[in-house]
């Protein structure tokens, strides 16, 4: 098996663990903490995240990219790592001090805010960017598995009622802190410490600040949604949106995993030569659209049976949130490939920033108009519109440089097959079976419908997927 496939499987496992564990715990939490309790945690976590991004700036992309460039040069890699991390640690100390002041004197829910300081503190030790840059996905996956299992066990052991929301916050923030601390023994064994000079640190400030603008913009339409819901609506609406996001994250895990794995590989490829680059990009687009269309439209098709079974009573609104949020995964899948395999490796940070700002503006405007009236539904509409704008802008930017038209054309049969599958599944009622039985039967029917439709559409559009995926 090639290293790309191994790394993709490791990273998919890494992200799916972040998704599958909540899929196990969410039905339990929706029944014990309730929508309001989940909303309290989600709102406070979203606020804490705004402090975290000021610690990490654009490191997840920038750090990965810089380490990928020099991963074969041991001395340069060591120098790059310690100079970047020195900047991160300094920011971590300053921002955590500010967060402590906010928690003690400004926050309305001081206890929850201070408990989640474990999350802001964990950002000081978050060096996942180093492991991704060196394409060491195995270590992070195993570590994540162990911590996730422990956190899950703790939730079932200690969370018993709505009054345990503070304990839930302790488990979640403590787990994040331990998760990042465990990374360090491995790094200290393999990366020799080098005391960086000030000039070696400051050289990373400007490019990080440039990518930080993107992080801010993305955060606005990913985390500001919940903050605005809490401010303009109520915590119950935040809880509904949080519960829906747990499921929406399933297709996102597969999509973002591809981007995380391919960013360092494509960066390294471009640093040496461009051989096979365009074919790799084409295959990535097809693979990303396939995954997003199958998973997203499949979940939409079984939503009527899945929502009441998964969440319990009182979460009917999630069915409608699914139908609005999940189609955004198609836009996100296409844009993610363009972003991680073209814009970022070629250091087209300006174009990346503009797309993120446009998405943030669209999302913010729609939220301001719709949230107070429609609650979580309004936020979902804003998210869908924002992802669409980002995808369209990024595609237009690269239209003259890569074969974007053929990428879009070859994606159409995959998307149409997903739509056909959704329409069929959503309108099938299996009244003679239980909800769980209906879901499994629909999944089997959906797979048949999708691949049969794909065969027909591929012939109609004259797209040879086997030829595309077998290109070297």
pLDDT in tens, 381-390: 998 999 999 9
In contact, 248 and 325? CB cutoff 8 Å: yes
Q: Looking at residue 257, what is its pLDDT?
A: 63
Alpha-carbon span 285 to 404, nearest angstrom? 10
Contacts for 363 with CB less than 8 Å, ≥ 6 apart: 220, 221, 224, 225, 382, 383, 385, 386
Tell me: the pLDDT tens digits for 231-245?
A: 777 778 878 887 887
- Give the three-class secondary structure for 434: coil
Query: How far is 336 from 390, CA to CA, in rounded Å?
Result: 10
Q: Which pLDDT value is given to residue 273? A: 63
| Size (the chain), residues | 472
Provide the pLDDT for residue 280.
Answer: 77
Query: 286 to each of 16, 175, 283, 296, 456, how far by Cα in Å?
Result: 21, 36, 5, 15, 17
Going from the C-alpha of 296 to that of each of 289, 301, 325, 441, the distances in angstroms are: 10, 9, 9, 17
Q: Pick from 392, 133, 381: which is nearest to 264 by CA?
A: 133
pTM above 0.75, yes or no: no
Cα 245–chain centre separation: 10
Q: Which pLDDT does position 14 carry in this prediction?
A: 64
Residue 274 has pLDDT above 90, yes or no: no
- Comparing 37 with 388, the larger pLDDT belongs to 388
217 contacts 363 by C-beta, under 8 angstroms? no
Spatial CA neighbour of 117 closest among 164, 176, 60? 176
The secondary structure of residue 341, as a DSSP letter, is I
**pLDDT for 74:** 82
More confident residue, 346 or 329: 329
How far from chain centre, in Å, is Cα 162?
28
For the record, the structure tokens of 86 come out as 């020195």
Of 266, 230, 223, 205, which Cα lies nearest the Cα of 363? Answer: 223
Please tell me the distance from the alpha carbon of residue 292 to that of residue 107, in angstroms, as a whole number.
Answer: 38
Does the pLDDT at position 137 exceed 70?
A: no
- Please tell me the predicted confidence (pLDDT) of residue 270: 63
Span 443-452, mean pLDDT?
Answer: 95
Which among 261, 323, 255 is positioned nearest to 291, based on CA atoms? 255
Mean pLDDT, residues 96-107: 93
pLDDT in the model for residue 16: 64
Q: Is the pLDDT of residue 81 over 60?
A: yes
Residue 260 has pLDDT above 60, yes or no: no
Closest-CA residue to 68 (of 284, 270, 353): 270
With a cut of 80, say whether residue 450 has pLDDT above it.
Answer: yes
For residue 100, is pLDDT > 70? yes
């Amino acid at each position: 098996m090639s290293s790309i496939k191994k790394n993709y499987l490791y990273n998919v496992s890494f992200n799916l663990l972040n998704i599958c564990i909540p899929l196990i715990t969410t039905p339990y939490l929706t029944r014990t903490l309730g929508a309001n309790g989940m909303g309290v945690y989600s709102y406070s976590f979203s606020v804490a995240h705004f402090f975290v991004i000021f610690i990490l700036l654009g490191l997840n992309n920038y750090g990965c990219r810089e380490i990928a460039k020099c991963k074969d040069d041991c001395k340069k890699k060591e120098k790059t790592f310690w100079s970047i991390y020195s900047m991160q640690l300094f920011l971590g100390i300053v921002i955590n001090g500010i967060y402590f002041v906010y928690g003690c004197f400004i926050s309305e829910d001081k206890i929850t805010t201070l408990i989640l300081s474990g999350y802001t503190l964990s950002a000081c030790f978050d060096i996942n960017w180093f492991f991704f840059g060196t394409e060491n996905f195995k270590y992070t996956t195993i570590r994540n598995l162990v911590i996730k299992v422990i956190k899950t066990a703790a939730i079932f052991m200690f969370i018993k009622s709505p009054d345990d929301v503070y304990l839930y916050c302790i488990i979640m923030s403590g787990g994040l802190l331990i998760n990042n601390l465990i990374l360090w023994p491995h790094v200290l064994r393999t990366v020799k410490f080098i005391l960086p000079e000030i000039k070696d640190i400051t050289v990373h400030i400007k490019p990080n600040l440039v990518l930080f603008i993107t992080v801010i913009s993305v955060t606005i339409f990913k985390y500001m949604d919940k903050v605005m819901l809490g401010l303009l609506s109520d915590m119950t609406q935040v809880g509904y949106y949080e519960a829906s996001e747990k499921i929406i994250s399933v297709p996102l895990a597969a999509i973002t995993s591809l981007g995380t794995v391919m960013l360092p590989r494509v960066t390294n490829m471009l640093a040496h030569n461009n051989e096979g680059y365009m074919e790799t990009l084409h295959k990535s687009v097809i693979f990303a659209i396939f995954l997003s269309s199958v998973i997203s439209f499949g979940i939409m098709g079984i939503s009527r049976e899945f929502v009441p079974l998964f969440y319990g009573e009182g979460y009917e609104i999630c069915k409608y949130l699914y139908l609005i949020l999940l189609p955004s995964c198609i836009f996100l899948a296409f844009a993610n490939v363009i972003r991680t395999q073209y814009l970022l490796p070629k250091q087209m940070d300006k174009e990346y920033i503009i797309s993120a700002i446009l998405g943030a503006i669209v999302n913010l405007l729609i939220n301001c108009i719709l949230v107070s009236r429609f609650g979580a539904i309004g936020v979902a509409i804003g998210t869908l519109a924002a992802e669409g704008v980002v995808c369209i802008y990024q595609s237009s930017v690269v239209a003259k440089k890569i074969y974007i038209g053929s990428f879009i054309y070859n994606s159409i049969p995959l998307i149409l097959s997903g739509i056909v599958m959704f329409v069929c599944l959503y309108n099938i009622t299996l009244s003679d079976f239980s909800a769980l039985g209906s879901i499994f039967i629909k999944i089997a029917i959906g797979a048949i419908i999708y691949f049969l439709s794909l065969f027909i559409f591929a012939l109609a559009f004259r797209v040879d997927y086997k030829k595309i995926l077998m290109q070297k």
